Chain A
Amino acid sequence: MKLSGLPRRAGVGFKPEHFLAINAAAQPIGFFEVHAENYMGAGGPPHAQLGKLREDYALSIHGVGLSIGSVQPLDKEHLSRLKIVCDRYEPESFSEHLAWSTHDSVFLNDLLPLPYTSHTLTAVADHIDQVQETLKRQMLLENPATYLLFAESTIEETEFLADVVRRTGCGLLLDVNNVFVGSTNHHMDPGDYLALFPIESVREIHLSGHSETVDDAGAPLLIDSHDTPVKDPVWALFEALIARTGPVATLIEWDNDVPDWPVLCAEAQAADDILLNASNRRAA
């Protein structure tokens, strides 16, 4: 099984509108990440662009449609499509979400939450075994941003993720914005969550922006909207985390209201500075 191995630098989620700007000069970017589903067509500009990016940069392929958290079986056709994409581009890393998005073959196109029980733990672990066996590579599982909880849950999310890692040998993608969003939404301390997170298994970090609203009782409800710069409390959590872990491959995710390339690139530079400081401190 090929292990996940991105450079311990800052990366950026690739958007086709940035291709010309990226291609115009060498960029100070450690890796690019793409959504696997956008590269499942037969040909055309998506493959031409990704083929070119792949020549110059490390690559992370991030799935958004496998529905690993479903209690129903994985879509084998979709899994074979993922294998074709991974075999073609040989990414340094493949990741997916602790969430479900398909039910009875209807694709709901959102990352939906699941209760954490021994039953769902077995289902998720079986699905990850199947993914890793098919792709012949270690996958990373990403912690979700959630807006509500299930009464039937019996396991903490951090413990659930640690159990999945133990059972499957997968790695983790720690989305720090998701931690902040989920902790705020569930009235918990994100620092406590991160203290319990199995950080020794983290191979990649995601940073992104969120938006704010309120729930029925008027309590703050944060939405994982990926449409703004990374917010200050998320930067603070990231910096404290990196002080514990040392440098980890870190992605800036900006999927909606995407800014011009220089703005996105500067956001990655800010993350890279924190990673570089951490390695300098370790070397000192």
Chain B
Amino acid sequence: MSLDTQTRFAVALTDPAAPVPKGLASWTGSQPERRFAVYRNNVIAALTGALAARFPASQQIVGEAFFAAMAADFIRAHPPRSPLLLSYGDDFAEFVERFEPAKAIAYLPDVIRLEAARGKAYHAADVASLDAATLAALSPARLADLVFVPHPSLCVLRSPHPVVTIWAMNAGEAALQPIANWAAEDAMVIRPHLIVEVRRLPPGGAAFLQALAQGTCLAAAVDIATEDADAFDLSANLAGALQSGAFIAFR
């Protein structure tokens, strides 16, 4: 096979308007449209399957047919650049944000972001979380300067939509019902052991965790969180983070 043959084949696979490449043969002699179509279908179907496996709640929200059409457009515009499909779709949310037919579902990109974070957490490195008891042993004077190391699976996500509630209802984690209190929700995604967990964060919690995860010391992170939400409760948020296994070390 010359490089030209391979190039023509590859281009025609993902461009439905391209003619079947020259130089292909079949015993029935005819132009092998349907035979080539098997490969065309395989490429789009397998990549759509990879996206559906990573974004099941998003597929549940829009339905299989809508999801497949949206995925096919995404695949043609952003084909995978690696045989490692574990991270394929990291930029799916940004694509869906600009995808005209999905504009009416304003919360969809954030549900996709939450599912992308869950996928990353699933495959993140296995590290033991920080034991809260080691922190309790410190003198109170040291606490203000503490800097935490985030768990490799940790992701904090902020949304103007009730993203955790919507995700849970479409992931089979909660009953599907009307959302009475349509309010912004922040999420923490974490996998301390083998199960990926999604937690709704209290006021200021997202700002607090994001600051700590970026290496901001505890005192400064508290200032940032209080600025973000007056109701920020330090002891509840710190205890919640440690219980969830959000950090692996401090210094």
A residues bordering B, Cβ < 8 Å? Answer: 37-38, 40-48, 64-67, 70-72, 75, 77-78, 81, 100-110, 112, 114-115, 117, 119-120, 147-152, 185-187, 213-217, 219, 221, 223
Contact = CB atoms under 8 A, between A and B. Distances in A.
B85 A81 contact: no
Nearest to A110: B42
A107 B124 contact: no
A147 B29 CA distance: 13
A78 B82 contact: yes
Given A108-B10, A150-B23, 12 more contacts: A44-B121, A44-B126, A65-B84, A72-B3, A110-B42, A147-B32, A147-B35, A150-B24, A152-B1, A215-B32, A217-B30, A221-B34
B227 to A, nearest CB: 34
B123 interface: yes
Centre residue among A65, A70, A109, A219 by max chain B CB count within 10 A:
A109
Nearest to B10: A103
B5 A152 contact: yes
Centre residue among B1, B32, B126 by max chain A CB count within 10 A:
B1
Given A103-B7, A109-B47, A217-B29, A75 B24 contact: no
Contact of B191 (A38, A44, A110, A186): A44
A43 B126 contact: yes
28 contacts: A42-B124, A42-B125, A42-B152, A43-B126, A44-B122, A45-B122, A65-B84, A70-B6, A71-B3, A71-B6, A72-B3, A81-B84, A103-B6, A103-B10, A107-B80, A107-B85, A108-B79, A109-B47, A110-B39, A148-B36, A149-B26, A150-B5, A152-B23, A186-B27, A216-B32, A216-B34, A221-B35, A221-B38
Contacts of A214: 34
Contacts of B123: 41-44, 46
B39 A48 contact: no
Interface of B: 1-3, 5-7, 9-10, 13-14, 23-36, 38-39, 42-43, 46-47, 50, 79-86, 121-127, 152, 191, 194
A112 B81 contact: no
A223 B47 CA distance: 18
Contacts, number: 161
B91 to A, nearest CB: 15
Contacts of A78: 82-84
Given A71-B6, A100-B6, A223-B38, A148 B26 contact: yes
Given A37-B85, A148-B25, A150-B23, A109 B122 contact: no
Centre residue among B6, B10, B83, B126 by max chain A CB count within 10 A:
B83
Given A71-B3, A115-B1, A109 B28 contact: no
B39 A147 contact: yes
A100 B5 CA distance: 13
A106 B122 CA distance: 25
Contacts of A219: 27-28
Contact of B84 (A40, A101, A105, A114): A40
A110 B1 contact: no
A110 B84 contact: no
- The list of the 8 closest CB pairs from A to B, nearest first, reads A65-B83, A41-B123, A43-B126, A103-B10, A217-B28, A42-B125, A187-B27, A148-B35
Contacts of A106: 10, 14, 79-81
Nearest to B194: A45
A71 B5 CA distance: 10
Contacts of B24: 148-151
Nearest to B9: A112
Contacts of A66: 83
A110 B40 CA distance: 9
Contacts of B14: 106, 108
